[in-house]
Structure 1
Amino acid sequence: MNALKILVYVTSAAAGYNMLQLFKYYVSAYSRGKFKGSYIYMAWISLLLDQMAVYITFAANSAALEGSVVAITGSETFQWMKVCNRFTRFCFQIGGAVLCGYVASILMALISIMSTYKVFRMYSPKWFLRLKSR
């Protein structure tokens, strides 16, 4: 199943990207005010990369889920037998991995929402996106 191999590559790349984002926020916390001109551009680039990571991770998880469903049910048209009748432990592990992948996709979507809020807050008046009035 090539979908599972691709899922490993995609989730590894997404984990590496998230580690780079953490490093970026760590560095930017110590260099406040030095790069003001490129701050807006970096926020947009970060937002677009966050969106790409979420969509690609979700798509890879969906492809792996589709392959897993074929492994569970089999396909008489293609003469594929049910794999889960023989390898039950493998099927439980794949099910857990796909479930964890969807949870990770949802968490990355929440991070992307925070990036979106950060970007669009730069373009709004001070009273527009305030959570609580004073």
Structure 2
Amino acid sequence: MINNLLDQLVHNNIQLIISDNQKLKLLYQKNNVTDELKNQITKNKLKIMQRLLENKQARSVGFNIYGSGDLYEYRYGFGSYLYIERSANDLVTAWRANYPKGGDKPYKLKIIRKNSSFEKAFKEAKGFIDWLNKKNGKRY
């Protein structure tokens, strides 16, 4: 639901920004927003803001974000990825996958958290990233 709305906003070149005082701002050209779209934005304002904050949080630790937050990808080595994927029910699954050179199927797969809130899955994923950085001597 929210994914479709966010995709529609992107398609109509409408930018969403959360202001410093936690208000949702829209940047758009007049002809790009219909009354129906405005109503959908108003109706889903809190969910939209939550998704934008989740995307910002994920981006801050190095995740690539696809489909307005359908999939988050963090590459931590050659063929080594950490994913957070959103399901249709808005729950997420976080997992790691290792792919052989030139391969498209993982030879190793580890589920970190399944059918969870974004908050819990992200916390686990970030814990793994922090552990990796500490192990590799990186400081952020």
Calculate the TM-score normalised by the size of structure 1: 0.29
Calculate the TM-score normalised by the size of structure 2: 0.28
Higher relative contact order (CA 8 A, sep 6+): 1
Say which structure is richer in strand: 2
